[in-house]
Structure 1
Amino acid sequence: MRRDTFLKSLAALAAAGVLPSTAFASANLKMMIPANPGGGWDTTGRALGKALQDAGVATSVQYENKGGAAGAIGLAQFVNASKGDGNALMVMGAVMLGGIITGKPPVNLSQATPLARLTSEYNVFVLPATSPLKTMKDVVEQMKKDPGSVKWGGGSRGSTEHIAAAMLAREAGVDAAKINYVPFRGGGEATAAILGGNVTVGGSGYSEFQQYIESGKMRAVAVTSPTRLKGLDIPTLKELGYNVEIGNWRGVYAAAGVTPEQRKALTDMILKATKSKAWAEALEKNGWTPALLTGPAFDEFVDREFATLRATMVKSGMI
């Protein structure tokens, strides 16, 4: 086939919307990050964008941050503005599920298209270095005396750190409805509040606090993992006597109304990106655990997570 004939055929296929998945390579992608700069979703979205380019499946990636309501504001914009757009992606995760359960926004995650779970990370609780409290035991004792005096800083309401705080309160015999939780629209805001002493204790993934812990500006007092994080001297809540374990995973969705061919093409692009050097470096740098899951298995996982989180939140007195 002559080259000009081939190109005409390719153009005809594109017009008909039946291009093979390989034709989506080197796309100009748009990445919705439904949180303010500086947090886990922001870091994940930009790391994924870099990996997509490193893998040679994206020519460029345009990022948009839209924080608030556990990602629901960004989700609404993504659903309404990107219908059928095969070049649109959105970062999401457990925090968004929790926010949807507590906030009941008008737009639901089911209106977008699941692509992949990417990583998993446990929450670390930290105190500012200047805090008179030195350990998680100190925090719990203060919470028992006066629940409102302990300000918990973290992601949006319904985030995994919010759920962990409620679970810990219940374990300590404190009414979870009385905990003083201060939500932030992004990790940068939460970090500033912790360093400024505007909250008593902060929670997030270790990667967000790492530089401040290593520099001595924050003191890590507990982690929500079943065992201690590799190479880190941070006690688990379980070893401190509190039966609290909860993980935070992050993933990526496509727009509503994309075709099966577009969904497959984007999934293939994500798979290639996770095999790139840039992604391996991001996992190492941020201490993320790879947790790749795609296709029907990811769809089913999200459904199970909704049910599990709802049950945990009911048990913890959050809803």
Structure 2
Amino acid sequence: MRATSKRKLRSLVAACAVLTLAVPLLGWSPTLAQGAQPPKSVRIMAPASPGGGWDQTARFTQTVLREEGIVPGTVEVFNVPGAGGTIGLARLASTERGSGDLLMITGLVMVGAILTNQSAVTLAQTTPIARLTAEYEVIAVPANSPFQTLDDLIDAFRANPGAISWAGGSAGGVDHILVGLLAKEAGVDPDQINYIPFSGGGEALAAILGGHVSAGVTGYGEWAGQIEAGALRALAVSSAERIEGVDVPTLMEQGIELEIANWRGVVAPPGISAQARASLVAALDRMHATKRWQQILADHNWNDFYLSGDAFAKYLTAENERVEGVLREIGLVH
């Protein structure tokens, strides 16, 4: 790959996502939640089908809030799948407006889906609460796939782009962005990508295990069990260096100058009171401080990427601008 192309691709990735994963603690101030008490009960919306990263994040959040006694009452999780989370987002901003007991999982996937689906509702219409995790992507194929290596897959992709089908999350999300960047690396027109979006990681996993697609892309933690069991063959991870305890080569060590990670967080409905916002921030601050939450991060190879309150709100604004630029560059938004 020419040096100018490498520089351009690095610039794209740097604009896109979380590339160093260093938590900017110096910019984080929990003043909003100081003195606030967590709410008595909480509902958590996973705006995707069961089995994916948003659903996992919602249910682990439920576990810690409940078992650590942070929220003394009911902690309920429910799913509202569809359109990269924008169906759940629309519900949050309309029928749930003013509901101070509700959290919705969000992340880089939703930022992209809002743009590609031309959603009438955006994250600017929510109440930002906290950014939680960041996770590197994995590219995997079924165990019986003819593609033994990433080079095998890329060569076939380059030779006949439409014949290689990619399963991943919703259109415009981090999975789709990664495939788009791979296409640019391979010299393939992004418009020729045969990308099949699914509303949850469980559905994408079923498609790849059933041999209905050539390859799949998702956060490593979602398919770690199937990879370790040998049902899937992991060809690459999107980290700069190998993930500790994960015997999968990176894209970069295989000659692809690309690093990208997905982040996840939580927002609340618009129109909630300052007291309700402070209570929700306090609950997440306390969750983040527990040993149980830190163990969950370690167990699922999730990076601690915590940021709450006003600092997270500023991050969301900047992230929307970065992602829109990348989606335009790789042809996913026109």
Paired with 1:138 and 1:43, the residues of 2 have a C-alpha distance of 32
The CA RMSD measured in Å over matched residues stands at 1.5
Given the alignment, which residue of 130, 136, 139 partners 2:144?
130
- The alpha-carbon deviation at position 70 of structure 1 amounts to 0.6
Say if 2:141 is the partner of 1:143. Answer: no
Identify the range of structure 1 (233-242 vs 131-140) with the bigger mean alpha-carbon deviation: 233-242
SS class of match (2:253): coil
- The alpha-carbon deviation at position 60 of structure 1 amounts to 1.4
- What is residue 106 of structure 1 aligned with on the other side? 120
- What is residue 88 of structure 1 aligned with on the other side? 102
Q: Is the 8 A contact 2:48 2:54 kept in 1?
A: yes
Describe the superposition over 1:230-274 as per-residue Cα deviations: whole angstroms up to 9, x where unpaired: 122212112222222211000001111012221111101110111
- What is residue 44 of structure 2 aligned with on the other side? 31
- The alpha-carbon deviation at position 187 of structure 1 amounts to 0.7
State how 1:274-313 maps to structure 2 within 5 Å.
274-313=288-327
Identify the range of structure 1 (156-165 vs 282-291) with the bigger mean alpha-carbon deviation: 282-291
Q: Is the 8 A contact 2:133 2:265 kept in 1?
A: yes
Paired with 2:239 and 2:304, the residues of 1 have a C-alpha distance of 15
Paired with 1:249 and 1:218, the residues of 2 have a C-alpha distance of 24
Which 5+ residue runs of structure 1 have no aligned equivalent?
1-19
- The alpha-carbon deviation at position 285 of structure 1 amounts to 2.0
SS class of match (1:191): helix
Q: Is the 8 A contact 1:127 1:201 kept in 2?
A: yes
Percent identity, aligned pairs only, is 42
- The alpha-carbon deviation at position 277 of structure 1 amounts to 3.5
- The alpha-carbon deviation at position 21 of structure 1 amounts to 7.9
Paired with 1:229 and 1:195, the residues of 2 have a C-alpha distance of 24
Amino acid across the alignment from 1:53: R
Say if 2:194 is the partner of 1:180. Answer: yes
- The alpha-carbon deviation at position 90 of structure 1 amounts to 0.5
Amino acid across the alignment from 1:141: D
Q: How many residues align?
A: 300
- The alpha-carbon deviation at position 22 of structure 1 amounts to 6.3
Q: Is the 8 A contact 1:84 1:259 kept in 2?
A: yes
Describe the superposition over 1:165-188 as per-residue Cα deviations: whole angstroms up to 9, x where unpaired: 000101111001111000001111
Paired with 2:162 and 2:265, the residues of 1 have a C-alpha distance of 34
Q: Is the 8 A contact 2:39 2:280 kept in 1?
A: no
Identify the range of structure 1 (206-215 vs 225-234) with the bigger mean alpha-carbon deviation: 225-234
Given the alignment, which residue of 62, 65, 74 partners 1:52?
65
Paired with 2:48 and 2:60, the residues of 1 have a C-alpha distance of 15
TM-score (structure 1 length as normaliser): 0.90
- The alpha-carbon deviation at position 276 of structure 1 amounts to 2.2
SS class of match (2:216): strand
Paired with 1:23 and 1:231, the residues of 2 have a C-alpha distance of 39
Q: Is the 8 A contact 2:141 2:234 kept in 1?
A: yes
Given the alignment, which residue of 171, 182, 186 partners 2:185?
171
Describe the superposition over 1:266-311 as per-residue Cα deviations: whole angstroms up to 9, x where unpaired: 1011101112233123212211111100122211211121111111
Say if 2:250 is the partner of 1:212. Answer: no
Given the alignment, which residue of 199, 204, 215 partners 1:190?
204
Identify the range of structure 1 (258-267 vs 29-38) with the bigger mean alpha-carbon deviation: 258-267
SS class of match (2:196): strand
Amino acid across the alignment from 1:306: N
Q: Is the 8 A contact 1:238 1:245 kept in 2?
A: yes
Amino acid across the alignment from 2:331: G
Q: Which entry has the higher C-alpha Rg, 1 or 2?
A: 1
TM-score (structure 2 length as normaliser): 0.87
- The alpha-carbon deviation at position 23 of structure 1 amounts to 7.2
Describe the superposition over 1:50-77 as per-residue Cα deviations: whole angstroms up to 9, x where unpaired: 1111332212111110111110011111
Paired with 1:101 and 1:136, the residues of 2 have a C-alpha distance of 30
Extract structure 1 runs of 4+ deviating beyond 2 A.
20-26
SS class of match (1:198): coil
Amino acid across the alignment from 1:68: G
Given the alignment, which residue of 45, 53, 57 partners 1:40?
53
Given the alignment, which residue of 167, 172, 190 partners 1:153?
167
